[in-house]
Amino acid sequence: MLEVSNLEFSYDDGSPILKDISFSISKGERVALLGPSGYGKSTLGKIIAGHMNPDKGTVLLNNQKLSKYKGYKPIQLIYQHAEKALNNRWKIKDSLYEAWDIPVELLERMGINQSWLDRWPNELSGGQLQRISVLRALSPKTQLLIADEITASLDTITQAQLWNVVGDVLETNNTSLLMITHNESLAKRICSRIIQIESLCTCTCT
Ligand SMILES: Nc1ncnc2c1ncn2[C@@H]1O[C@H](COP(=O)(O)OP(=O)(O)O)[C@@H](O)[C@H]1O
Ligand SMILES: [Mg+2]
């Protein structure tokens, strides 16, 4: 249901970061995009999520461009650093419940304390904010979740707890996953297919 075709992209100042990238992800499928840093994984994630436009090529979700979807965007991207993802002028509860009607049970399983809800983003730690931003993105309206190194800066217990919840919710909603990571063992645990960025990338990467 996600179809990426012949993507090309370069930043203003240089040679192509992405060249002729094509792959697809089916409904409910979990795919890892694995590879060393600097190969354009995050750039590709942003393009698929519609945060940046490619120079060439197309990204289609259910045969439609993402820009055709009005309102809630069915492709959600979450980053390693949640600080950037949340609106600083919104209390935590407003960021969370604007996204979807989150069951209390999920807050508990994610280790989110009720007392955090009335706080501002700068009153939580990076790991706490990350749980909030992940839960926000797990709306049943999300058709593809792109997780860009989302647990790279978390301790292993929090990492496991977070991925357990994410895995269960994705399965319940039949949501697809593109997991961007350099952690191969984590990728194998969570995903059913692994794409090596080097195998997609025909340019000379730095
Ligand atoms: N905003 C930007 N402007 C210019 N170059 C960038 C920008 N963001 C990333 N790059 C460069 O693009 C390349 C790929 O970066 P990135 O997509 O972050 O790779 P990865 O996620 O695989 O580490 C790197 O060489 C990086 O320095
Ligand atoms: Mg990256």
List the chain domain ranges: 2-200
pLDDT-derived band of residue 202, with 50, 70 and 90 as boundaries? low
Q: Give the DSSP H/E element, type plus range, for residue 186.
A: helix 184-190
Ligand nearest to the CA of 37: 1
Domain 2-200: homologous superfamily in CATH: P-loop containing nucleotide triphosphate hydrolases (3.40.50.300)
Interval 98-119: pLDDT, tens: 999 999 999 999 999 999 999 9
For residues 54 and 47, the answer to whether their CB atoms sit within 8 Å is: yes
Interval 183-195: pLDDT, tens: 999 999 999 999 9
Interval 30-53: pLDDT, tens: 999 999 899 999 999 999 999 999
Ligand 1 pocket check for 181: Cβ under 6 Å:
no
Total residues found in the chain within this entry: 206
Interval 6-20: pLDDT, tens: 999 999 878 899 999
Can you tell me the distance from the alpha carbon of 106 to that of 166, in angstroms, rounded to the nearest whole number?
Answer: 10
pLDDT at residue 203, rounded to an integer: 52
Q: State in Å, rounded, how far the first CA of the chain is from the last one.
A: 31
pLDDT-derived band of residue 206, with 50, 70 and 90 as boundaries? very low
What lies within 8 Å, CB to CB, of 206 at 6+ separation is 38
CA 16 – ligand 1 centroid, Å: 11
* Pairing mode of beta strands 176-181, 75-78: unpaired
Ligand 1 pocket check for 76: Cβ under 6 Å:
no
Mutate which of 9, 10, 17, 19 for ligand 1 pocket (most atoms within 8 A of beta carbon): 17
CA 70 – ligand 1 centroid, Å: 29
For residues 179 and 191, the answer to whether their CB atoms sit within 8 Å is: yes
